[in-house]
Amino acid sequence: GENVEQHPSTLSVQEGDSAVIKCTYSDSASNYFPWYKQELGKRPQLIIDIRSNVGEKKDQRIAVTLNKTAKHFSLHITETQPEDSAVYFCAVSTSGTYKYIFGTGTRLKVLA
Amino acid sequence: DAGITQSPRYKITETGRQVTLMCHQTWSHSYMFWYRQDLGHGLRLIYYSAAADITDKGEVPDGYVVSRSKTENFPLTLESATRSQTSVYFCASSHTETQYFGPGTRLLVL
């Protein structure tokens, strides 16, 4: 079955710096790659997603890149702010199933 | 987000008891999902449903039962709770690929 690895598990950056989180997956049939942000005690919330027919997508300070050949995708956050501190999860879905396999999460700390 | 709710939000029970966690969504989404979240494991899929009366197992279904008689409801039952089922449980729903999560239920099994 599908396997998703996420790195790093924790990441500390200075305010204003960039943060990058990477996920690798195993199933070449996977075609949808969302990223969720989860603040302490809250529900996961979608922040950006990308489909397999697109290589990059950007939304203000957040971007996601996808390399289908290497089976990895990355979340990029620029100009980090303290409110970006949270746990970020990547997920992978295969066409027609709508099921997700999640990565194990990255705890991002933005230091003021 | 207010379109998907879970109850109870907190629950304490004892080993061997039956517990039902409720999930309700107002969007008429076809798909609904149950996940458990444990430290070090992220979110793992327990069961999912593609429509009313259609359910299927996820990664970690043992010890859980689901039903879906109505599109808007997707209850999760722990038939005989064990300490290893202490976790935070999230329900989610979707119309297409994007899933929207409920607020979660924090369950403690003593």
Cβ contact, residue pair B44, A42, below 8 Å: no
> Nearest CA to B43 among B54, B61, B26, B59?
B59
CA closest to A89 among chain B residues: B42
Q: Is the pLDDT of residue A12 over 60?
A: yes
Q: Between A94 and A73, where is the model more confident?
A: A73
Instruction: Label residue B82 left, alpha or beta by phi (over 0 means left) and psi (-120 to 50 means alpha).
Output: beta
Average pLDDT, chain A: 95
* Inter-chain residue contact B31 with A105, CB threshold 8 Å: no
pLDDT for res B2: 61
Residue whose C-alpha is closest to residue B6's, from B74, B104, B107: B104
Q: What is the pLDDT of residues B41-68, one digit of tens each?
A: 889 999 999 999 999 999 999 999 999 9
Q: Report percent pLDDT > 70 for chain B.
A: 98
Provide the 10 A C-beta neighbour count for residue B107: 20
Distance from CA of A98 to the nearest CA of B (A): 5
Percent of chain A topping pLDDT 90: 88
Mean pLDDT of chain B: 95
CA–CA distance from A55 to each of A23, A74, A83, B32 (Å)? 15, 11, 27, 29
> Alpha carbon B52 to chain centroid distance?
15
According to the model, what pLDDT value does residue A3 have? 87
Alpha-carbon distance values, A73 to A93, A103, A104, B35 (Å):
13, 12, 15, 23
B19, β-bridge pairs: B78
**Residue to test with chain A: of B97, B101, B105, B106, most A Cβ within 10 A:** B97
Kindly indicate the confidence band of residue A68, based on its pLDDT and cuts at 50, 70 and 90. very high
Burial of A59 (0-12, 13-18, 19+ CB in 10 A): exposed
> CB–CB of B99 and A34 under 8 A?
yes
Q: Quickly state the pLDDT bin for B39 (edges 50, 70, 90).
A: confident
- Most B CBs within 10 A among A35, A39, A43, A93, hence the mutation to make, goes to A43
Section A19-43 average pLDDT: 95
Does the pLDDT value for residue A97 go beyond 90?
no
B61-90, pLDDT tens digit by residue?
Answer: 999 999 999 999 999 999 999 999 999 999
Rounded Cα distance between B33 and B94, Å, is 9
The answer, for B39 touching chain A at a CB cutoff of 8 Å, is: no
Residues listed for chain A: 112
Tell me, what amino acid is at B85? Answer: Q
d(CA B1, CA A56): 27
